[in-house]
């Protein structure tokens, strides 16, 4: 069953109440009985504590911070888009391997920005500088924005904004399934709605507070029937005993449920498991009983685009994973585009 996010506590920047969405959120959360506090900055939240790092982490995942994004520039977002679109940060899920463990640390509270009109106006400026080229924005580079959509409406506002942009496109990815608020959005085919999938055992063992594979596929079918271009991120791909069979079953279940017309324009992104030293330390602190495979002797060390090193599978393993996944996707979805494999 999908996890409906209802925060246990919320923090508001006072400036956020100057925006209509900020006031709406305050009233909505107050009506839900959520404990509300104020903070001087959405970047500095001191009220997330616990008797252990794991307890503090769980409270962070139940904390919503409402702020105003002040930075005017957008970060780049290779290889999936030209820019990140900053709508939110973090998510309520508790995936043990989450790469945000490197950047968000041990208390990855959820953060949303209420000055959506200003953010989209900046996106429009970026679009204009690249005309007649299409400019693509990623809405989930540091978050899963869907769990808070029923509270904020940020995704629907953004989807409909890009529906009006002849030279702008939007894309985001989710593990969650509360897609109903977006099914009637006027997207005009300008938003690619993507779902993060994995082998059933990976979801069961490591993706806590997320829907099952079957539930995600069912939600993907709903969005396909609503006319959205559809995509899937298979990540992180793990190399374990029986991995071929499990990933084959995942793809077989997907092709069985999707409408035929949708299969002609599918996109896939394939990302193998990797981790940093910092992430490994955080993971073992928060999930002391974790069984995630993180043995440096079985990995290759490589520097990434953001300047820090990570441990990835050795070349021969990556080649095996790549060949198998590409062959199976081509068999089940011969018209699909594989955007990248990393």
Domain boundaries, the chain: 9-341
- Contact between 136 and 231 (Cβ < 8 Å): no
pLDDT at 99: 78
Residues of the chain scoring pLDDT < 70: 1-3, 101-102, 304-307
| Residues 6 or more apart whose Cβ sits within 8 Å of residue 222 | 179, 180, 183
CA dihedral 241, 244, 246, 250 (to 10 degrees): 160
pTM of the model: 0.94
Handedness of CA 146, 147, 151, 152 (dihedral sign): negative
pLDDT at 308: 75
Per-residue model confidence as pLDDT tens digits over 241-299: 999 999 999 999 999 999 999 999 999 999 999 999 888 998 999 999 999 999 999 99
Helices (H), 172-212: 200-206
| Residues 6 or more apart whose Cβ sits within 8 Å of residue 185 | 156, 159, 160, 163, 191
CA-based end-to-end distance of the chain = 31
Counts for the chain of helices (H) and strands (E), in that order: 11, 18
Residue 335 buriedness (CB in 10 A; 0-12 / 13-18 / 19+): exposed
For residues 160-180, one letter each, b for 16 or more C-beta atoms within 10 angstroms of the residue's C-beta and e for the rest, the string is bbbbebeebbbbbbbbbbbbe
Return the CATH class of domain 9-341.
alpha beta
Compute CA distances 127 → 32, 81, 133, 186, whole Å.
38, 13, 8, 19
Residue 38: phi, psi to the nearest 5? -120, 150
Please name every residue paired with 111 in a beta bridge, in sequence order, or none if there are none.
65, 89
pLDDT at 1: 58
């Amino acid at each position: 069953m999908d996890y409906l996010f209802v925060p246990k506590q919320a923090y508001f920047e006072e400036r956020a109440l100057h925006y209509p969405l900020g006031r709406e959120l305050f009233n909505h959360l107050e009506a839900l009985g959520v404990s509300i506090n104020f903070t001087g900055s959405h970047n500095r939240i001191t009220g997330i504590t616990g008797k252990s790092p794991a307890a503090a982490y769980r409270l962070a995942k139940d904390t919503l911070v409402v702020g105003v994004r002040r930075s005017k520039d957008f970060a780049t977002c290779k290889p999936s888009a030209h820019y990140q679109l900053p709508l939110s940060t973090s998510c309520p899920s508790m995936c043990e391997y989450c790469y945000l463990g490197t950047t968000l640390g041990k208390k990855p509270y959820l953060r949303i920005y209420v000055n959506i009109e200003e953010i989209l106006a900046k996106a429009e400026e970026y679009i204009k500088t690249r005309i007649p080229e299409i400019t693509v924005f990623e809405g989930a580079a540091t978050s899963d924005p869907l769990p808070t959509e029923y509270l904020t409406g940020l995704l629907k506002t953004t989807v409909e904004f890009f529906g009006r942009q002849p030279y702008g496109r939007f894309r985001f990815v989710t593990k969650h399934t509360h897609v109903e608020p977006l099914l009637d959005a006027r997207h005009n085919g300008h938003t690619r709605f993507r779902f993060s999938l994995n082998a059933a055992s990976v979801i069961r063992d490591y993706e806590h507070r997320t829907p099952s594979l079957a539930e995600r596929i069912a939600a993907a079918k709903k969005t396909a029937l609503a006319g959205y271009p559809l995509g899937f991120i298979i990540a992180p791909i793990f190399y374990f005993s029986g991995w071929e069979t499990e990933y084959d079953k995942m793809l077989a279940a997907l092709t069985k449920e999707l409408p035929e017309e949708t299969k002609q324009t599918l996109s896939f992104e394939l990302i193998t498991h990797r981790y940093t030293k910092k992430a490994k330390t955080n993971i073992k602190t928060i999930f002391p009983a974790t069984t995630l495979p993180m043995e440096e002797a079985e990995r290759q060390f490589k520097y990434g685009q953001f300047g820090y090193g990570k441990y990835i599978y050795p070349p021969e393993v990556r080649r095996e994973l790549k060949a198998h996944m590409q062959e199976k996707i081509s068999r089940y979805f011969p018209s699909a585009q594989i955007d990248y494999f990393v």
